[in-house]
Amino acid sequence: MYNMKCIGVLTSGGDAPGMNAAIRAVTRTAIFNNLQVKAIYRGYKGLITNEIVPFQTESVSNIIQHGGTIIKTARCVEFRTPEGRKQAYDNLVKGGIDGLVVIGGDGTFTGARIFAQEFNFPIVGIPGTIDNDLYGTDTTIGYDTALNTIVEAVDKIRDTASSHERLFLVEVMGRDAGFLALYGALASGAEAAIIPEIVTEVDQLEQLIQHGFRKSKNSSIVLVSESEITGGAMGIANRLKEKGYNPHVTILGHIQRGGSPTANDRILASRIGVAAVDALLDEQRSIMIGIVNNEIVHVPFNKAIKDEKPVDKYMFDVLRLLSI
């Protein structure tokens, strides 16, 4: 019989708004189920350097509304080595932790999968990343807040774009996933989105020019995913300049990561946090908790990490149709 007494929780990789709401949900669900909770500061780094702190209900009071993560996050090179992971395991055993909830993105789950296999350790993952690039969940914690931040910024840029009758290229995050650019463009009424998933099929810029993206309008806003594949906003701007256009570039950068989480992100984080502890108590391991069609799902780490999450290409057509 499985006898879990104490769980650990950590946040790892890039921070995302809603991580605090997830930490709160994990902590309180564990305490409700008579488990001890220990927070591991600075992700896998803190596991190796033994930054482990017992948490009570009050430890997570007044945090649901804050962006970032109260238990900090880090990228940890040592955890990529067997020696680093052994040290981490020894500290978990020393701390009496017998199950772990990790909140992060695909890198975090890759590390968790390897660690869980090496030490036969129960780990459940919570998808916390603004990029929404994890397979098996409709949305990730932080994505909705980042999307709203982008929309707010583009609304402001549009004021100057239309006053000066200019073409603006707005670069948004997403690494090799175009969700933020595509849905940000749809929500802000931008004329187009240049995203990595489509760039590989057609030259989106040529297509835009052929369709005469400024013909009927005196200003244009195009959202571009920050990615080597798209070339980013600067890469697109250089190509446009060669064709006689005069684009202005705005790179939104880290403002997309911060801020108070939206209601949707807080609710998502709360639901997934509860489900993560339930899964551990239910003897589940090496899975990510996701949401599909508003239902909680369990996705093996292998699938969440390796499978590509496709963007809905129909939405790309909708964007084009609405920007005539």
Out of 99, 107, 136, 178, point to the residue binding ligand ATP (CB under 6 A). Answer: 107
Of 34-42, 76-84, 166-174, 194-202: span binding ligand ATP (CB under 6 A): 76-84
Rounded CA-CA distance 249/184 in Å is 16
Out of 49, 63, 70, 75, point to the residue binding ligand ATP (CB under 6 A). Answer: 75
**Coil vs helix vs strand at 41:** coil
Are 75 and 105 a contacting pair, CB within 8 Å?
A: no
Q: Which amino acid is at 87?
A: Q
In 49-105, which ranges are continuous DSSP H helix?
A: 82-94
Active site residue 131: yes
Of 24-32, 106-114, 242-250, 264-272: span binding ligand ATP (CB under 6 A): 106-114
Which among 15, 98, 131, 144 is annotated as catalytic?
A: 131
Q: Name the minimum Å distance from CB 274 to ligand ATP.
A: 22
**Coil vs helix vs strand at 185:** helix
Are 288 and 304 a contacting pair, CB within 8 Å?
A: yes
265 binds ligand ATP, rule: CB under 6 A: no
21 vs 169, which CB is nearer to ligand ATP?
21
237 binds ligand ATP, rule: CB under 6 A: no
Of the chain, the end-to-end C-alpha distance in Å amounts to: 63
Rounded CA-CA distance 238/288 in Å is 41
Of 103-111, 209-217, 282-290, 314-322: span binding ligand ATP (CB under 6 A): 103-111
Rounded CA-CA distance 324/302 in Å is 42
Q: Name the minimum Å distance from CB 314 to ligand ATP.
A: 26
Residues 32-51 that bind ligand ATP (CB under 6 A): 44
Q: Name the minimum Å distance from CB 322 to ligand ATP.
A: 30
104 binds ligand ATP, rule: CB under 6 A: yes
Q: Name the minimum Å distance from CB 190 to ligand ATP.
A: 24
Residue 193 belongs to what H/E stretch?
A: strand 192-194
Rounded CA-CA distance 128/141 in Å is 5
Contacts of 30 (CB under 8 A, 6+ apart): 7, 36, 37, 277
13 binds ligand ATP, rule: CB under 6 A: yes
What are the residue numbers of the active site?
Answer: 131
Q: Tell me which residues touch ligand ATP (CB under 6 A).
A: 12-14, 44, 75-76, 79-80, 104-108, 110-111, 114, 129, 131
